[in-house]
Chain A
């Protein structure tokens, strides 16, 4: 279990407990956190679960696959700390993780 804080573009914060093994995207969807669409359900096929990972956790969220890198390249407002949250598996190490959400996923 890890506590994850999702911060909407509006500034609204949602802190929820997410089971290890789920993805950061699934943690948002199952807890009805708005701002992550995840149209493809985690297949890395749509780039609608874009998040910005807080600097303190950048080393702990794993490497981007070539597929993720390539999909992200075409998302809107991409930053160096951009990730597709369906590709980040929740581990105990990510307890306290903060991710910020973009204004729009489309």
Chain B
């Protein structure tokens, strides 16, 4: 039931919220749009923060999703530095940190996720940083430079991208990971091994299987990381990258169902027909895998922004996309399509020693996921094959003399 004049209030001016405002206008929505963000700057791209931005290859203007003028020119009331403090779904109002109360016809939670904190002594010292926002990235950038020592807690994508950027700037990088391998939650062991070796060859050091006891400093500035086994790692700054927590508190308080994020359907709608939710904060269905998941990725934010805007604008439904991710580290481009749910076999196509290979996760003769390093054909064709469920021959998939187009033929 679309209403082209409906007043849409979007909570959260990140990649999801900002894109949703743009899609609504692109799809011809005429009603007022209010976009509320707690950061001081208009919506921008976050992925470059750990890469091009740290290396000084991107500036605020190039990261912005839209020029500032776009919002006023398109009847989008952009409120920056403001948060919502309460949602009353009964009378369809939102209370803001300014004390103002806004009414809505449609409410969108695009509140994203926040960095998980490490609850240890010294976590509040200067120089103990996280990386979610442009302001975080600015602090990290200021801490990096030739011979500066960065300790990175958490061997996930954020940590590894920051490590690569730190090395590019001549800084030392030491990754401290609790698990016995990096990328433990998000990649298979073969990929972990490859990235560990690639980073080590470029000067990144790793301590695996270590617990952090705390951070120690002098004059309020962090100087070392204390490990639980008593050892200390000297540093000039610490980046804590140990995952993110969905910002679903307000939705939860308003009585919406939350399970590791706000529960939505394939239209990105909650159980309340007037309330949608998009992006990192959602717990969403993934029909391809017959599951509910929370995805932290730009493609997911864009897809849900487009889906929800389309529903509100009365456009025909979109086919659910295959989830995908990417990461740039040194000269490596990692592209991942799908998720390895229910896979019963792992098949490596190509030779990791050449830094050009792909790891396929198979369930019988179907591809569930592909992790492609410097291998666009494997990623692009793999993504198609995941989406259309076409069976493949394992023998041909493993044979690099058979092109991906032939594999899929």
Contacts and interface: CB of A to CB of B under 8 A. Distances in A.
A94 B38 CA distance: 38
Contact of A74 (B321, B374, B380): B380
Interface stretch (B59-67, B83-91, B200-208): B59-67
Q: Size band of the B side of the interface?
A: 20 to 34
A73 B377 contact: yes
A95 B47 CA distance: 30
A43 B70 contact: no
B25 A32 contact: yes
Contacts of B377: 70, 73-74
B315 to A, nearest CB: 13
Main secondary structure of the interface of A (DSSP, over half): loop
A39 B67 contact: no
Given A22-B62, A67-B333, A74-B377, A41 B26 contact: no
Nearest to B326: A45
Contacts of B380: 47, 71, 73-74
A39 B47 CA distance: 11
Given A67-B333, A71-B380, A41 B64 contact: no
B66 A39 contact: no
Contacts of B326: 40, 43, 45-46
A22 B326 CA distance: 22
A44 interface: yes
19 contacts: A22-B62, A29-B65, A30-B67, A30-B70, A32-B22, A32-B25, A32-B26, A32-B66, A32-B74, A39-B298, A39-B302, A41-B45, A41-B47, A43-B47, A43-B326, A46-B299, A70-B376, A71-B380, A106-B321
Interface of B: 22, 25-26, 45, 47-48, 62, 64-67, 70, 74, 298-299, 302, 321, 324, 326, 328, 333, 335, 374, 376-377, 380-381, 384
Given A47-B380, A74-B380, 18 more contacts: A29-B65, A30-B67, A31-B67, A32-B25, A32-B66, A34-B26, A39-B299, A43-B47, A43-B328, A44-B333, A46-B299, A46-B326, A67-B374, A70-B376, A73-B376, A74-B381, A74-B384, A106-B321
In the A-B complex, the 7 residue pairs with the closest CB atoms? A74-B380, A70-B376, A45-B326, A41-B45, A71-B376, A30-B67, A34-B26
